[in-house]
A and B are shown apart, each in its own frame.
Chain A
Amino acid sequence: MSEMIHILPAVLILISAVGLMFMSMYEDKFSTKTYITVSSIVLVLALILAFIPFGELYSVKPYTSIFNDVVIFDTFSNFFNILLIIGTLLTLLIGEHYFQARSYFKGEFFSILMFALFGMMLLANANELVTAYIALEVASFAVYIMVGYNSEDSKRIEAIFKYLVLGSFIGAFYLLGVVLVYGATQTTNLSEIATFVSTHSNSDLALVYIGFTLILFTFLFKVAAFPFQSWVLDVYRGAPMIITAYMASTFKIAIFSFFLRAILQDLQPMIDFWDSIIYVITIFTLVFGTWLAITQNIVKRMLAASSIVHTGYLLLAFISLGQNIHSAYSTVFYLIAYLLSALGSFGIISHIISETKVRVTYDDFKGLAKERPFLAAMMTIFLFSLAGIPSTIGFIGKFYVFTEAINAGYAALAVLAIIATFVSVYYYFKLIAMMYFYPTKEECVVNDFNDKRISTYAIAFLAIITVLGGIGSAIVFFIPVLNIDTLINITQMSIQSLFLK
């Protein structure tokens, strides 16, 4: 029974995905609102189920006879499952307005969203390379479809085509990598590969190293690190706004969850081999992402480009893993921080453009603060968080990452990252300046909006969490619950569970 508890959330999501698919056959019977309600209820249920083992340190491989150790359930995967479910739930709630305003979001969309979530959860639990591949592809294909929703939009067709072709192409690298690893080790199970690596000398490991480096390329592609970043701008720009939010926040977390597990649990020696590769990649990711972000005029593209810079910060934490296990905690913490602020910032824009299609470039955001002061204030909070201004969770995330990077001896890289942060102040503050300091452009004036709806409350909730996560117990030090330490402890515990054997 206790094994059952662990797999229940993922199973529930899978069942609901199929169920929603059937529901969508009776298209005219259910409104979009019904789909949103049903999916949200399922997600809340899954969340409750996932929270049952929360806070304990454990690592189990349930039903070994059926699954043959291909999946593992531990505090780490539990933590990521919770994050992924929360990310999806918030995407759904924030997008409520957007979904209802666009007629093309029919029932099957929500089914695909659930499939994506299932794939990502499986990825967080995968303990074997082929399983991870299947999970990754399930999630990726779901995301491909969602990116291409409403094929009447030519930008969207470009986006899905680019993403699909490049994504599948890079998937081939992954498979080649798996084959090479299998050829050398006769296994695809991560634990067994780890045993093989630790018992053999370097000369026998050439194929394993090459194989995993190919797999690393897939990882770098999916998180949009240099030189695999070229798809990001067009795909993020072309995709429906709320899907961009989903990709930038939740999908990225899922990718990191698997690779963090693979590296920390099983491939510690690999990190030294990769050190110089990732070092160079981090530098280029930061520099190139920053350059892209400055040169954008369209807000969505700017946020997309800035997500490359955030990948750079995460890689900085990633590279420090070799010297300093604490930076694993910082990676996870930064992922939370980025989830909140990216989801918030993309989400607000999707909410704003629900009634109207204008508001694309910086100029279109002029005067938002006069028109809708609370939305502008919340957007400001998210931008502050992305820029790492104190009093937001983004600052704590950056503090954590940079401290651990310096502690691991990557002070020069940390300085570069700080410079990137400094430049990011410019492009984030430019948007704030647009919202607050200019009158509204005539063609962007919207009068008939209703901000008393679920989307707004979901965004407000995110904004409050973003600020509380940054202040923690500073102002309210007499309330111990709202503590950054709690978050840090959870991330630490989840990483520790990887080392339970």
Chain B
Amino acid sequence: MSANILSFIIFIPAVIAFGLMITTKHVETVRNIAFLTTTVILALVLKIYIDFEPSAGMQFVTNVPWIASYGINYYIGVDGFSLTILMMIAILIPTAYLLLWEGRTKGYWINMLLVQTGVTGTLLALDVILFYFFWEVMLLPVFLMIGIYGFGEKIFTTIKVTVYTMAGSLLMFVAILYLGVAYHNEFGIWSFQYDNLTNITILTYSEKMWLFLAFLSAFAIKIPIFPLHTWIMETYKNAPTGAVFLLSSIMAKLGVYAIVRFLIPIFPEIYIEFSTWFVFIGLFGLIYFGIAALMQDDIKRMFAYSSASHLSFIAAGIFSLNAFGINGALYLIIAHAIATGALFLLVGLIHDETGYKTIKDLGGLAKGAPIFTTIFAIMLFANVGLPGTNGFVSELLIIFGIYEFNHTLGYISALTVIIGASYMLWMFQRAILQDRVGEPLKFRDLKIKEIVGLAPWVFLVFLMGIYPDVFIDKFEPTVTHYLNDILQIGATK
């Protein structure tokens, strides 16, 4: 059991999903079993979190041949980076279930389970082909979810998002194959393990640059980095709450994670060389999306832009070439996943209950729903980065990182974070606090179940804001290892 614990975490949801698909038609049974599955996984992940040695590198490794003729292995493992995100996914998903509890169909829950297999697999895969496998597979349930349960022009949206992300993925696929062939030519054997691919020396500079860009295109579309963001507005607006939650708080983060996991070790010198550009693009995205968010009336679209804005900031942190920036980016991945995830779910609740989703139609929700408003405010503050919340710690770290990278860009980043605060608070004031024009809306407060679901998130927001060391200690050794060993090699070459 303990040897294959990661495999269990990956595949239990899919196995349960297929089982449920065939055996029962009863929605509540499906939902309850699905929820139970996610809590079991949470328990398993907690066990890993406790057993994990921060300084020991890759752990819980399973490495068995899958397609031996091509050296493709079923190679999974967890290190400081992936553990943090794994923990995040494991906590977020069951609580999201609690908020999505009522009024869903069987297919919805089955797709939610399948996505969990996809994202966990993507996170833990260390063989690039295996990674690609999960990377594609995690998209398919979302495709179905948007198409079946979405709103508005859902079919156009779902085809668009699929085609868009597939374009990036296929470019990455070519790059993966090219790397594999290069490894084969140099060493005479096939291998697609990421740590083996880092040893390739025969690629020329321009080849590396193209491969880097091909990989990046896949990740940048998922994140999204400016200018590859055009799919997210419609998608976040038209997709059902569950899919938006998955896309924004989990899959987008996997794009960032993949940059750290694969791009940096395989192409260290390209990463260093292009870093200025990407920090710049990241900051540009932060400002651009922030201003776009200010002008939105649809709450979901506003959050879509806000999410893109934060993710651009994360990308800027990742490319800042120092421990502050990368630690901060990782920390913001978690903080942002919690805050945005909660906000999207709460907005989904508003939409389900009132039928409205534009800011001008809403208002006065605070009176009837004090607990809802409180939690909404806490998540909002975390998202904006108020001191005491986890958002503050991470944004501060990234700003330090960028400042160390380049003073001018550092000042710019420090000044532009304020944009986020303005649109968020303005929206909060108009949609929640201020009285509605016309008759007041009927809006229920959160149920006990939902409060229970959100409680750990609120707790985490403050715990991570006040004692960041508890978490940073788990992944800092990995970051240090990256900077000292991998990028050092890159710098000297």
Question: Which residue of chain B is the closest to A417 with respect to CB atoms?
Answer: B174
- Are B70 and A418 interface neighbours, CB within 8 A? no
Q: 1/0 contact trace for A366-387 toward B, CB 8 Å?
A: 0000000000000000001000
Question: Which residue of chain A is the closest to B70 with respect to CB atoms?
Answer: A403
Nearest CB of B to A17, in Å: 38
A268 to B134, CA, bound (A): 40
* A426 beta carbon closer than 8 Å to chain B: yes
Residues of A within 8 A of B69 (CB): 484-485, 488-489, 492
- Are B74 and A425 interface neighbours, CB within 8 A? no
- Are A403 and B180 interface neighbours, CB within 8 A? yes
Nearest CB of B to A423, in Å: 9
Residues of A within 8 A of B170 (CB): 418-419, 421-422
Question: Which residue of chain B is the closest to A422 with respect to CB atoms?
Answer: B170
* A411 beta carbon closer than 8 Å to chain B: yes
Residues of A within 8 A of B177 (CB): 399, 402-403, 406, 414
Q: 1/0 contact trace for A386-414 toward B, CB 8 Å?
A: 00011100011001101100110001001
Question: Which residue of chain B is the closest to A398 with respect to CB atoms?
Answer: B173
Stretch at the interface among B156-164, B256-264, B367-375: B156-164
Question: Assuming A477-B66, A485-B69, is B155 touching A418 (CB within 8 A)?
Answer: no
Question: Which residue of chain A is the closest to B182 with respect to CB atoms?
Answer: A406
Residues of A within 8 A of B134 (CB): 390
A177 to B438, CA, bound (A): 86
Residues of B within 8 A of A429 (CB): 143, 159, 162-163
- Are A406 and B181 interface neighbours, CB within 8 A? yes
* B385 beta carbon closer than 8 Å to chain A: no
A436 to B134, CA, bound (A): 23
Question: Assuming A436-B144, A437-B154, A474-B130, is B67 touching A403 (CB within 8 A)?
Answer: no
Residues of A within 8 A of B178 (CB): 406, 411
A409 to B131, CA, bound (A): 25
Question: Which residue of chain A is the closest to B158 with respect to CB atoms?
Answer: A433
- Are B163 and A426 interface neighbours, CB within 8 A? yes
Residues of A within 8 A of B130 (CB): 474
Residues of B within 8 A of A473 (CB): 65-66, 74
A406 to B207, CA, bound (A): 13
- Are B11 and A475 interface neighbours, CB within 8 A? yes
- Are B166 and A396 interface neighbours, CB within 8 A? no
Nearest CB of B to A380, in Å: 9
Residues of A within 8 A of B171 (CB): 418
* A415 beta carbon closer than 8 Å to chain B: yes
Q: Which residue of the partner chain, among B66, B133, B174, contacts A402 with CB atoms under 8 Å? A: B174
Residues of A within 8 A of B68 (CB): 485
Interface residues of B in 133-180 (CB under 8 A from A): 133-134, 136-137, 140, 143-144, 147-148, 154-155, 158-159, 162-163, 166-167, 170-171, 173-174, 177-178, 180
Question: Assuming A389-B136, A433-B155, is B174 touching A414 (CB within 8 A)?
Answer: yes
Q: Is the interface of B mostly helix, strand, loop or mixed?
A: helix
- Are B137 and A430 interface neighbours, CB within 8 A? no
* A87 beta carbon closer than 8 Å to chain B: no
- Are A390 and B166 interface neighbours, CB within 8 A? no
How extensive is the interface on chain B, given as a class?
Answer: 35 or more
Question: Assuming A433-B155, A474-B130, is B67 touching A418 (CB within 8 A)?
Answer: no
Q: Which residue of the partner chain, among A407, A415, A422, A433, contacts B184 with CB atoms under 8 Å? A: A407
- Are A472 and B159 interface neighbours, CB within 8 A? no
Residues of A within 8 A of B133 (CB): 390-391, 395, 474
A426 to B178, CA, bound (A): 25
* B288 beta carbon closer than 8 Å to chain A: no
A438 to B158, CA, bound (A): 13
A227 to B171, CA, bound (A): 28
A492 to B68, CA, bound (A): 14
Q: Which residue of the partner chain, among A391, A402, A437, A484, contacts B158 with CB atoms under 8 Å? A: A437
Interface residues of A in 465-492 (CB under 8 A from B): 472-475, 477, 484-485, 488-489, 492
* B427 beta carbon closer than 8 Å to chain A: no
Interface size on A, residues (CB 8 A): 37
Residues of A within 8 A of B173 (CB): 402, 418
A61 to B70, CA, bound (A): 34
Residues of A within 8 A of B167 (CB): 422
- Are B132 and A433 interface neighbours, CB within 8 A? no
Interface residues of A in 161-187 (CB under 8 A from B): none
- Are B174 and A418 interface neighbours, CB within 8 A? yes
- Are B74 and A474 interface neighbours, CB within 8 A? yes
- Are B163 and A425 interface neighbours, CB within 8 A? yes
Residues of A within 8 A of B143 (CB): 429
A388 to B134, CA, bound (A): 14
Q: Which residue of the partner chain, among A389, A415, A430, A472, contacts B66 with CB atoms under 8 Å? A: A472
- Are A390 and B136 interface neighbours, CB within 8 A? yes
Interface residues of B in 50-77 (CB under 8 A from A): 64-70, 74
Residues of A within 8 A of B140 (CB): 384, 389
* B346 beta carbon closer than 8 Å to chain A: no
- Are B67 and A396 interface neighbours, CB within 8 A? yes
| Residue from the set A415, A419, A426, A437 with the largest chain B CB neighbour count within 10 Å | A437
- Are B67 and A433 interface neighbours, CB within 8 A? no
Q: Which residue of the partner chain, among A403, A433, A477, contacts B147 with CB atoms under 8 Å? A: A433
Q: 1/0 contact trace for A237-267 toward B, CB 8 Å?
A: 0000000000000000000000000000000
* B129 beta carbon closer than 8 Å to chain A: yes
Nearest CB of A to B102, in Å: 22
Residues of B within 8 A of A425 (CB): 162-163, 166
Q: Which residue of the partner chain, among B67, B158, B166, contacts A422 with CB atoms under 8 Å? A: B166
Q: Which residue of the partner chain, among B67, B136, B155, B185, contacts A484 with CB atoms under 8 Å? A: B67
Interface residues of B in 67-100 (CB under 8 A from A): 67-70, 74
Nearest CB of A to B311, in Å: 24
A415 to B178, CA, bound (A): 10
A433 to B69, CA, bound (A): 36
A474 to B159, CA, bound (A): 29
A418 to B184, CA, bound (A): 21
Question: Which residue of chain A is the closest to B185 with respect to CB atoms?
Answer: A407
Q: Which residue of the partner chain, among A399, A402, A403, A477, contacts B74 with CB atoms under 8 Å? A: A477
Residues of B within 8 A of A406 (CB): 174, 177-178, 181
A484 to B70, CA, bound (A): 10
A485 to B163, CA, bound (A): 31
Residues of B within 8 A of A390 (CB): 132-134, 136-137
Q: 1/0 contact trace for A412-453 toward B, CB 8 Å?
A: 001100110110011001100100111000000000000000
Question: Which residue of chain B is the closest to A405 with respect to CB atoms?
Answer: B177
Question: Assuming A403-B180, A472-B66, is B136 touching A426 (CB within 8 A)?
Answer: no
Nearest CB of A to B176, in Å: 9
Residues of B within 8 A of A414 (CB): 174, 177
- Are B155 and A437 interface neighbours, CB within 8 A? yes
Residues of B within 8 A of A411 (CB): 174, 178
Residues of A within 8 A of B74 (CB): 473-474, 477
A14 to B50, CA, bound (A): 69
Nearest CB of A to B113, in Å: 15
A474 to B137, CA, bound (A): 14
- Are B148 and A477 interface neighbours, CB within 8 A? no
Nearest CB of B to A375, in Å: 14
Residues of B within 8 A of A407 (CB): 181, 184-185
Q: Which residues of A contact B (CB under 8 A)?
A: 384, 389-391, 395-396, 399-400, 402-403, 406-407, 411, 414-415, 418-419, 421-422, 425-426, 429-430, 433, 436-438, 472-475, 477, 484-485, 488-489, 492
Given contacts A437-B158, A485-B69, 16 further A-B contacts (CB under 8 A): A390-B132, A390-B136, A402-B177, A403-B177, A406-B177, A406-B181, A411-B178, A422-B163, A425-B166, A426-B159, A430-B159, A433-B158, A437-B147, A472-B67, A474-B74, A474-B130
Which 4 residue pairs are nearest across A and B when measured between Cβ atoms? Answer: A390-B133, A437-B147, A488-B69, A390-B136
Q: List 26 A-B contacts (CB under 8 A).
A: A389-B137, A390-B132, A390-B137, A395-B133, A399-B70, A402-B174, A402-B177, A403-B70, A406-B177, A406-B181, A407-B184, A411-B178, A418-B171, A418-B173, A422-B163, A422-B166, A425-B163, A426-B159, A436-B144, A436-B148, A437-B155, A472-B66, A472-B67, A475-B11, A484-B69, A485-B69
